[in-house]
Amino acid sequence: MKDYRIKIHIRNDRLLSAIENKGYPSVLQFCETYDLPYVCVSEIIRGVRKPIGEKGKLKSLAKELLDILNLDMNQAFTSRQLQGFRRASYEASVTEKQLKQLVSPVKNQEVKMIEKDISNRLNKILKEILSPRDEQIIKMYYGLDGQEKSTMTAIGNNFNVSNSRVQQIIRRTERKLKHPSNFTRLMETGFAELFGIKKARDWEKEIIRMKTLDLNNKP
């Protein structure tokens, strides 16, 4: 039996270090400076977007990125990274000794450069869509902004409302966020990393189902 269950996020440290060495505190600022598509660059860094095409040559965005960072393909990617990853996050069970070997006092570039960007973009959208109370409740429920996930009972005690009322607010808020126009914006932030990839995929499936029903019900 292991001691801990941890979540591992795949990130290309070579690219992140090169961006940081150019003086940018975040990938978002780097992309804005060079007019690069943030979501696509983030996907390359996370490994979910392959940097090479079928003939093994760099795709245009990857080539532009490496030109800016003054890196060649071998400097920027391992052979495995060139193939891309189907998933960018994994769960693993480890012993306490293994955990100590993984944890380093060195700054966590992933949190600093990727999750901070995602969190900022997500917060901006939530503020536009939700009331202050609904925003706070959904963040507590899903453990956003670095918070631990809260139970409906804990949320109810915090806002002095019943569990059933908390449930109503959460469901109503989820319906707003699932609206296709809102969900598209959320996905573009890379929020699945913070919100939960499985939950995001479940929402996406439900939206597709809802759209299908709407089409079928049209005269």
Asked if residue 148 and residue 195 are part of one domain, the reply reads yes
CA–CA gap between residue 138 and residue 130 (Å, rounded) = 10
**Residues 82, 58: Cα–Cα separation, whole Å:** 9
And the tokens for 215?
């089409």
Q: Indicate if 118 and 209 belong to the same structural domain.
A: yes
pTM above 0.85, yes or no: no
Same domain assignment for residues 96 and 119: no
Which of 102, 124, 155 is where one domain is finished?
102
- 116's CB contacts (< 8 A; 6+ apart) are 26
Closest CA to 153 of 137, 133, 173, 136: 137
Residue 35 pLDDT exceeds 90: yes
Report, as an integer, the average pLDDT of 143-172.
87
> Domain containing 132: what range?
109-217
Sorted by sequence, the CB contacts under 8 Å of residue 179 that are 6+ apart come out as none
State whether 116 and 95 are in the same domain. no
| pLDDT average, residue stretch 74-92 | 86
Q: In the chain, what percentage of residues exceed pLDDT 90?
A: 30
* Arithmetic mean of pLDDT over the chain: 80
Q: Are 124 and 197 members of one domain?
A: yes
Shared-domain flag, residues 79 and 22: yes
Confidence at residue 1, expressed as pLDDT on a 0 to 100 scale:
73
Q: Check whether 214 has a pLDDT greater than 70.
A: no
pLDDT for res 106 = 47
User: So what's the pLDDT on residue 146?
Assistant: 67
SS3 115: helix
Last residue of a domain, one of 102, 130, 153: 102
Helices (H), the chain: 13-21, 27-34, 38-46, 60-69, 73-76, 79-83, 96-102, 109, 116-129, 132-142, 152-159, 163-178, 180-188, 192-195, 197-217
Domain end (from 71, 86, 102): 102
pLDDT confidence bin for 212, thresholds 50/70/90: low
- Number of compact structural domains in the chain: 2
Pair of tokens at residue 133: 């109370």
CB-based contacts of 27: which residues, under 8 Å, 6+ apart?
16, 19, 38, 41, 42, 45, 113, 114, 117
Higher-confidence residue of 68 and 213: namely 68
Q: Which residues contact 124 (CB under 8 A, 6 or more apart)?
A: none
Percent of the chain with pLDDT over 70: 79
